[in-house]
Amino acid sequence: MTAFTPPALPSEDKRWKIVNGTMRKNGFARRALIETLHTVQSSFGYLDDDSIRFVAMSLRVPLSQAYGVATFYHYFTMKPPGKHTVTVCAGTACYIKGADKLIAAAEKRLGIAQGQTTADGQISLMTARCVGACSRAPVALCDGEVVGEMTRDQVLEQLERWIVE
């Protein structure tokens, strides 16, 4: 039996070395699929067709399985994120304290639905099941920064700051 030789990296982009490191650390084992897809997403911001194909070939998993995992888990996104991202927590505590109103206000102002990015690529509106800051509900993450006790006016003010950049 011949030794497995993983495919060449898709490009010289240093982020591929990080992805390859994750796979190498796990011995290019199939069980590393989710961890490797997480590494791709954290490195590039999203999963595209080329990255999913590369990971599937490298880990010797069927392409259908790699796509199945990438589309099943809510964490993964197949679209590039906007320059800025607001993620509203939709967990129980946040929902009870008005997260739905924050989401509705943002959707109306941006003209997009949750999970989408504005046409100019400036702002992505996301939701999360829970961000673990229930005592500060409702919570939003503005470019990764936790903002607790967020009001409708505060979310709109943040969006306006990003829109005028």
Residue 23 falls inside a structural domain: yes
Number of domains in the chain: 2
What CATH number does residue 126 fall under? 3.40.30.10
Could you report the per-residue pLDDT of 24-73, keeping only the tens digit for each? 999 999 999 999 999 999 999 899 999 999 999 999 999 999 999 999 98
* 57 and 125 part of one domain: no
The answer to whether 142 is a known ligand-binding residue is no
* 20 and 66 part of one domain: yes
Give the mean pLDDT of the chain.
94
pLDDT of residue 165: 82
Distance, first Cα to last Cα, the chain: 58
Which residue, 96, 94, 154, is CA-closest to 127? Answer: 94
Q: Are 41 and 77 in contact (CB under 8 A)?
A: yes
d(CA 86, CA 24): 34
* 49 and 95 part of one domain: no
Which structural domain, as residue segments, surrounds residue 135? 84-164
* 59 and 106 part of one domain: no
* 88 and 160 part of one domain: yes
pTM: 0.73
| Residue 99, SS3 per DSSP | helix
Task: Give the contacts of 27 (CB within 8 A, at least 6 positions apart).
Answer: none
Residue 9 falls inside a structural domain: no
**pLDDT above 90: residue 10:** yes
Residue 131 falls inside a structural domain: yes
Q: Among the three residues 72, 107, 137, which one is the final residue of a domain in this structure?
A: 72
Model confidence at 75, pLDDT cuts 50, 70, 90, reads: confident
In this structure, the dihedral spanned by the alpha carbons of residues 10, 46, 123 and 152, taken in order and rounded to 10 degrees, is: -170
* 26 and 66 part of one domain: yes
* 99 and 158 part of one domain: yes
